[in-house]
Amino acid sequence: MRAVRIDGPERVALVEMPRPAPGPGEVLVRVRSSALCAVDRRLARYGAGSPRVPGHEISGTLEDGTEVGVHPNVGCGRCEWCLAGFVNRCPDHQDVGRDRDGGLAEWIAVPAEHVVPLDGFDPLLAPLVEPLSTILHARSLLDVREGQRVAVVGAGPLGILGTWTFRRDGARVAVVQRSEARRRLALDLGADAALAPGEDVAGALGGPPHAILVTAPGVEPLAWALEHVAEGGAVHAFAGTRGGMPVDANLVHYRHLRLIGSTGCTVGEFRHAVELARAGEIPVADLPHVVVPLERVPELLLHPEPDPAVLKVVVRIDV
């Protein structure tokens, strides 16, 4: 089969590999499409875990013709988190595309319980369901309710999916983003307001945000969120930072703040994301994207083509 393989730092190529053989409890999925993520680009840049086939945003077809999405957070199945259904918190997890070979290939073997029928949703765009499912997990921790004020830091794909999710909950949402082009895009895609970091988010929302989802990486966005969230509010760190970050414990203590983090999602949340996408309640197909062939992936992982009007690259594999 054809696959994109990372063999070390900045060593990425389209190669021929044997088709994977499913292990006990696994199924073989013929990959229809995958979407690229910043995680894939970091793996390509640094070569972590290589040799590895990246790709964790995946749709495909089972042997019987069932079109499925792939939930990529594979737990051990034995620990307290897995037994409670939170496979994304398993300390021994094996994430697809990072710890085990992923979906930038023509075939992939995954545990049967991690494939979810698409039930008619477009398989080409079904990889966009995976980032939505991680947003649903973050939303469950933030507990956003109707009528609340929410800020989303970053107008990338996760920021826009978060905006749509919180607006569906009945919240008023302001997107905070440095790029003017991305601020315009956020407004076009439904944000109630879009501001630069130095602008008055409380003024735009009619009060300080009850919850802030930080999808932009780095120390500054998270520090901004802790300073601007409402008394008793919650900040979700949905992106990593390089190195450590000092946190003012007094700020958290005396203002009754909650600082939350998460990655991935449960199988149930992935299934719910498929349902929302299929029903059009979260219009993932409207996320600005381009479709490319598998042959272009090595180049795009190592040398992305930034375009503020494009949020996702979808890779068509099974044509």
Q: Answer yes or no: is 276 within a domain.
A: no
Contact 268, 149 (CB under 8 A): no
Tell me the H-state helices in 21-79.
38-46
Is 252 in the same domain as 139?
yes
* DSSP 3-state percent helix, strand, coil across the chain (nearest 5): 30, 25, 40
Is 77 in the same domain as 143?
no
54-90 burial, b if ≥16 CB within 10 A, otherwise e?
bbbbbbbbeeeeebbbbbbbbbeeebebbeeebbbbb
**What residue numbers bound the domain in which 203 lies?**
132-261
Q: Answer yes or no: is 269 within a domain.
A: no
Is 142 in the same domain as 255?
yes
Tens of pLDDT along 211-240? 999 999 988 999 999 999 999 999 999 987
CATH number of the domain to which 100 belongs: 3.90.180.10
Q: Answer yes or no: is 275 within a domain.
A: no
Is 96 in the same domain as 158?
no
Q: Which of 56, 45, 37, 62 is nearest to 8 (CA)?
A: 45
Q: Answer yes or no: is 191 within a domain.
A: yes
Is 226 in the same domain as 208?
yes
Tens of pLDDT along 253-265? 999 999 999 999 9
- Average pLDDT on 204-213 reads 98
**SS3 at position 11:** strand
Is 153 in the same domain as 37?
no
Confidence of residue 319 (pLDDT cuts 50, 70, 90): low
- Determine whether 206 is exposed, middle or buried from the number of CB atoms within 10 Å of its CB (0-12, 13-18, 19+): exposed
Tens of pLDDT along 88-127? 999 999 999 999 999 999 999 999 999 999 999 999 999 9
**Given the structure tokens 């930080």, which residue do they identify?**
214
| Alpha carbon of residue 56 to chain centroid | 10
| Cis peptide bond N-terminal to 51, omega within 30 | yes
Is 152 in the same domain as 225?
yes
